[in-house]
């Protein structure tokens, strides 16, 4: 959601410098539009059109989490940013995103706001920055499995506490922590897995064609494999309707927090990232409006929540066709505004908040 994740360290004989990776911005824009589609239209309509429209449900948000991890690794890759400075920046981002997310949640938009959960991921990153590549990739899968098992145990034994209720401003602190870490729409216990994997991916050479093809191949294989495994297991472990049992482990329903959903959604995110890295380089001019939209991700995300709050009836539809028109209209408007803004200023209005403590120092250095 923040600008973290849009920069690349270019290595050479001279000093290293930071350059944006347009493919990451493109992937972030696709994630925003995917989430928008879920927020404004139906995700459970039968038929080819309904199935296609609902593809982003449960996948777009995971893409955000993966990109957050990628961005954290890129943030610390430059010699101009020490590990200590990176931790301060992540703490600041968490301090900005947490209250904004809690404040936005009770508005009348009908959306589970992800910003507060993003803040918790940045707090995790403060600790995980010092972990080796081996630890990041070794922990991602077990964390996801253990988190899924813990979430299912909560559904079985503490259903009132694991009701997928989002944290919001005014909730007791214990409820906020419980919902962000254990039981909310995007709990840390499961979402840490794609985030840690994203950190590991961010340490790879994302301009390498070999790495990009690896992302496409492994991401696609994971997505298809998880879907096939879920279909096969559900034939053996049919869960009674309306009853939560351990057979839920075979489910890959969007946001179920179960292992196969987590694997499939993460695989889809890796696939989209790989394809976005290719596409943004090969069609840079044509895709620039979408890239600019991804660079203003925080602003666009908050903006769409406020629009839904003010005009929810006008901006939602129970029909796939109507929802497609809404998404298309919002996409065009966002691209036009983002492109115009980026033609004048390097960061979006809300993105400035994420850099606020460092702007004065940057200006002083520029004046000397």
**Size of the chain, expressed as the number of residues it contains:** 368
Alpha carbon distance 29, 294 (integer Å): 4
**pLDDT higher at 153 or 13:** 153
Q: Which residues make Cβ contacts (< 8 Å) with residue 103, sequence separation at least 6?
A: 169
Residue 14 has pLDDT above 60, yes or no: no
Taking only the tens place, the pLDDT of each residue in 119-141 is 999 999 999 998 999 999 899 99
User: What's the pLDDT score for residue 3?
Assistant: 52
Q: What is the value of pTM for the model shown?
A: 0.92
Average of per-residue pLDDT values in the chain: 90
Tell me the pLDDT tens digit for each residue of 218-250.
999 999 999 999 999 988 887 777 788 899 999
DSSP string, 245-283: -GGGGG---TT---HHHHHHHHHHHHHHHHHHHHHHHHT
Average pLDDT for 101-129: 96
Taking only the tens place, the pLDDT of each residue in 187-220 is 999 999 999 999 999 999 999 999 999 999 999 9
- The torsion defined by the Cα of 70, 298, 304 and 261, in degrees rounded to 10, comes to 20
CA distance 226 to 141: 13
Please report which confidence band the pLDDT of residue 5 belongs to, taking 50, 70 and 90 as the band edges. Answer: very low
Token couple for 284? 């840079």
Q: How far is CA 197 from CA 135, 253, 331, in A?
A: 10, 21, 29
User: Measured between alpha carbons, how far is 147 from 145 in angstroms, rounded to an integer?
Assistant: 5
Assign 18 to helix, strand or coil.
strand
């Amino acid at each position: 959601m923040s600008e973290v994740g849009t920069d690349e360290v270019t290595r050479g004989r001279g000093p290293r410098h930071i350059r944006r990776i347009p493919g990451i911005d493109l992937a972030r824009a696709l994630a925003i539009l995917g989430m928008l589609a879920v927020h404004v239209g139906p995700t459970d309509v039968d038929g080819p059109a309904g199935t296609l429209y609902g593809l982003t449900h449960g996948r777009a948000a995971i893409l955000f989490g993966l990109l957050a991890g990628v961005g954290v690794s890129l943030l610390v890759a430059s010699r101009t940013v020490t590990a200590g400075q990176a931790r301060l920046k992540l703490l600041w981002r968490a301090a900005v995103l947490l209250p904004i997310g809690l404040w936005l949640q009770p508005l009348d938009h009908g959306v589970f706001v992800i910003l507060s959960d993003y803040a918790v991921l940045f707090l995790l990153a403060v600790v995980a920055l010092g972990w080796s590549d081996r630890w990041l990739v070794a922990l991602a899968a077990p964390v996801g499995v253990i988190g899924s098992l813990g979430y299912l145990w909560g559904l079985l034994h503490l259903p009132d506490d694991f009701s997928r209720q989002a944290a919001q401003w005014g909730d007791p602190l214990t409820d906020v922590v419980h919902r962000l870490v254990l039981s909310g729409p995007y709990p840390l216990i499961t979402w840490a897995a794609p985030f840690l994997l994203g950190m590991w991916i961010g340490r790879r050479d994302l301009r390498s064609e070999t790495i990009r093809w690896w992302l496409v191949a492994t991401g696609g294989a994971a997505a298809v494999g998880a879907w096939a495994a879920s279909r096969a297991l559900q034939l053996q472990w049919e869960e009674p309707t309306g009853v939560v049992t351990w057979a839920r482990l075979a489910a890959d329903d969007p946001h179920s927090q179960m292992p196969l959903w987590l694997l499939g959604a993460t695989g889809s995110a890796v696939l989209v990232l790989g394809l976005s890295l290719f596409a943004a380089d090969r069609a840079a001019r044509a895709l620039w409006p979408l890239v600019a939209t991804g660079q203003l991700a925080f602003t666009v995300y908050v903006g769409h929540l406020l629009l839904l709050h003010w005009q929810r009836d006008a901006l939602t539809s129970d029909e796939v066709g109507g929802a497609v028109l809404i998404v298309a209209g919002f996409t065009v408007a966002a691209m036009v505004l983002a492109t115009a803004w980026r033609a004048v200023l390097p960061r979006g209005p809300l993105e400035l908040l994420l850099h606020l403590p460092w702007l004065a120092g940057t200006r002083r250095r520029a004046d000397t």
